[in-house]
Amino acid sequence: MKIGEFVYDAESNTLTGPAEYMREQGNKFVEDALAGRSAVLNYALTNGGGSDPVRALLVALQTNYAGWKGTRDLVARRVA
C-alpha cells in the first residue's frame, strides 16, 4: 500500500519513506503512533468509520512529512 511518499509492504512487514525524514523524525513518529500518542492517527482510527489502521498510519505519516518538508523548504528559500 502506498500513500504519498510512504509504502507499507505487508508481505515483508516493512515501511519505507524518505530516508532523511525517517531518520530525523519519521521513526519516532511511527513509534509514538503505535504507542497511541498520535492525535492524527487516533482520530482516524476512532472517527474514521473503521479506518484501515495501516492506511491511517500512512496518512498520518504523510501529513507529518508534509509539515516537516514544508518547513525545511521554507527555511532553505529564506537562507538562499
Task: Cell 516493512: give the residue.
Answer: 14
In tens, the pLDDT along 15-26 reads: 999 999 999 999
pLDDT digits (tens, 9 = 90+) for 10-57: 999 999 999 999 999 999 999 999 998 988 788 878 876 567 899 989
- Separation CA 72–CA 75 (nearest Å): 5
pTM for the structure as a whole:
0.84
Secondary structure E strands in the chain: 2-3, 6-9, 14-16
